[in-house]
Amino acid sequence: MDLRLIAAVNAGKVAGVAARQLRRGGGTALPGLVAERADPGVARKLGRQLGGGRVLVTGTNGKTTTSRMLARMLAEAGVPYLHNREGSNLMRGIASALLGASGKCGAIHGGAGMVGLFETDEATLPPAARALAPRAIAFTNLFRDQLDRYGEVDTVAGLWREALAVTPKDATLVLNADDPSVAELALDWPGPVHWFGLEDAALGTEAAGAFDARWCRACGGAFDYDLRYFAHIGRWRCRRCGRARPAPDSRASNVRLELDSAGFAIDGLGDVSTPLTGVYNVYNALAAVALARVIGLPPEAIVAGLQHVQAAFGRQEVATLEGRQVRLLLCKNPAGANQVIQLLGTIGRLAERELRVAVLLNDRFADGQDVSWTWDVDFGCSPGRWTPRGPGATGRRTWHCV
Ligand SMILES: [Zn+2]
């Protein structure tokens, strides 16, 4: 009997109840935070009870949606799982999700048959990998994020290599073959890799936005592209050493983007569809499919999971506001925003009507107070003209596109 763990679990549970009663929010992070203070090993001790293995999903963009897609696939397959769905993707959020499933004695009921699915913040990957000894880690992509969070992409790439150094070497890396910054993780990985990628020349574009990856880590050479989908994502090759985009194990082709859905073909699964549109969601679907294959989910569950997934907060969520239908498209960095603008252009063309667009800029602490990243957003490729409206108060400035 681990008295320290039991004390930590109960302290965390009490903190969660108190936070909910005080309506302070934070119910998804506080229990974990309190429990970790009482026993820093709480995530490790609880997480390793999940006998179906632990799966981590990280990357700059798409980790929430990818995790939700995989969760839905697990549900369709009837595999019990634990997911930090509601909350924080830092260690405290992961610990909170584990606490929520634990009994007062520090045991997760039915844990032996359960898969742990953890959306993991990029900088949290080293402690998460150390604590959870994952059986698979998916890396969606690596872009510049809000600058005041982690600095440049090299910092994050360094943290990821640090995480891989403590990850069990029989774990499978699920890597985006089209992102050279993600692909380079395979350079020093001795274990298995499952690659995913997009093969659809029709989606290539000249106006792909700024590069967030410039130099080959193996030799320092620059990248050439046969095809670019957005930012530095595409069919790349190093000019100097010839290292090139690997052939994907899970590939999507024949992509059809609609207003409320995306359809595409995946090798071995045939034609699939998902209610989330945009090329970036095709990538999220691919990452989820690749992970599902690595953990051995049946094809029918994978296809059904893609079909039945629901949008997370702000991710193409549809809300009704004063009788009008409002579609929320969350973006947190230049690459994500450029993707959303490209998508608006596609939707405008498909719907053949004028779109009313408002850009709402949040500079609160959680999403980064430095909003200078918006300067790198390519508003010029949007379908209309942007004019500032409103009082222009910090955090409440809006642009309308007509
Ligand atoms: Zn090279």
Does 357 fall in a domain? yes
Higher model confidence: residue 319 or residue 103? Answer: 103
CATH of the domain at 239: 3.40.1190.10
Q: Same domain, yes or no, for 102 and 185?
A: yes
Q: Same domain, yes or no, for 296 and 354?
A: no
- Cα of 245 from ligand 1 centre, angstroms: 11
Residue 393 pLDDT more than 50?
no
State yes or no: is 154 an active-site residue: no
Interval 143-156 mean pLDDT: 72
Surface-to-core class of residue 168, CB atoms within 10 Å of its CB (0-12 exposed, 13-18 middle, 19+ buried): exposed
Surface-to-core class of residue 364, CB atoms within 10 Å of its CB (0-12 exposed, 13-18 middle, 19+ buried): exposed
Does 82 fall in a domain? yes
Q: What is the pLDDT of residue 151?
A: 59
Helix 279-294 crosses helix 63-77 at what angle (to 10 degrees)? 50
Q: What is the pLDDT of residue 22?
A: 80
Catalytic choice (145, 370, 376, 378):
370
- Cα of 283 from ligand 1 centre, angstroms: 25
- Give the chain's largest Cα–Cα span: 65
- Cα of 286 from ligand 1 centre, angstroms: 26
Q: Same domain, yes or no, for 272 and 393?
A: no
- Cα of 218 from ligand 1 centre, angstroms: 5
- Cα of 44 from ligand 1 centre, angstroms: 38
Cα distances (angstroms) measured from residue 167 to each of 154, 262, 289, 294, 310: 20, 34, 22, 16, 31
Burial 314-334 (b: 16+ CB within 10 A, else e): ebbeeeeeeeeeeeebbbbbb
Does 1 fall in a domain? no
Alpha helix ranges (H) inside 248-298: 279-294
- Cα of 154 from ligand 1 centre, angstroms: 16
Does 284 fall in a domain? yes
- Cα of 275 from ligand 1 centre, angstroms: 38
Q: What is the pLDDT of residue 144?
A: 80
Residue 332 pLDDT more than 90?
no
Q: What is the pTM of this model?
A: 0.87
Q: Are 385 and 402 in contact (CB under 8 A)?
A: yes
Beta pairing partners, 89: none
Whats the size of the chain, residue-wise?
402
Q: Same domain, yes or no, for 64 and 201?
A: yes
Asked which of 288, 308, 328 is the last residue of a domain, the reply is 308
Q: Same domain, yes or no, for 205 and 324?
A: no
Q: What is the pLDDT of residue 392?
A: 44
Q: How many domains does the chain have?
A: 2
Higher model confidence: residue 109 or residue 340? Answer: 109
Helix 125-132 crosses helix 91-101 at what angle (to 10 degrees)? 30
Q: What is the pLDDT of residue 219?
A: 93
Q: Same domain, yes or no, for 301 and 366?
A: no
Residues with CB under 5 A from ligand 1 (ion): 216, 218-219, 221, 238, 240-241, 243
Reading the block at residue 367, the tokens are 């999403």
Q: Where does the pLDDT of residue 150 fall: very low under 50, low under 70, confident under 90, or very high at 90 and above?
A: low
Interval 240-261 mean pLDDT: 94
Question: What rounded mean pLDDT belongs to the chain?
Answer: 87
Structural domain containing residue 395: 315-401
Q: Where does the pLDDT of residue 326 fall: very low under 50, low under 70, confident under 90, or very high at 90 and above?
A: confident
- Cα of 145 from ligand 1 centre, angstroms: 25
Residue 230 pLDDT more than 90?
no
Asked which of 283, 308, 333 is the last residue of a domain, the reply is 308
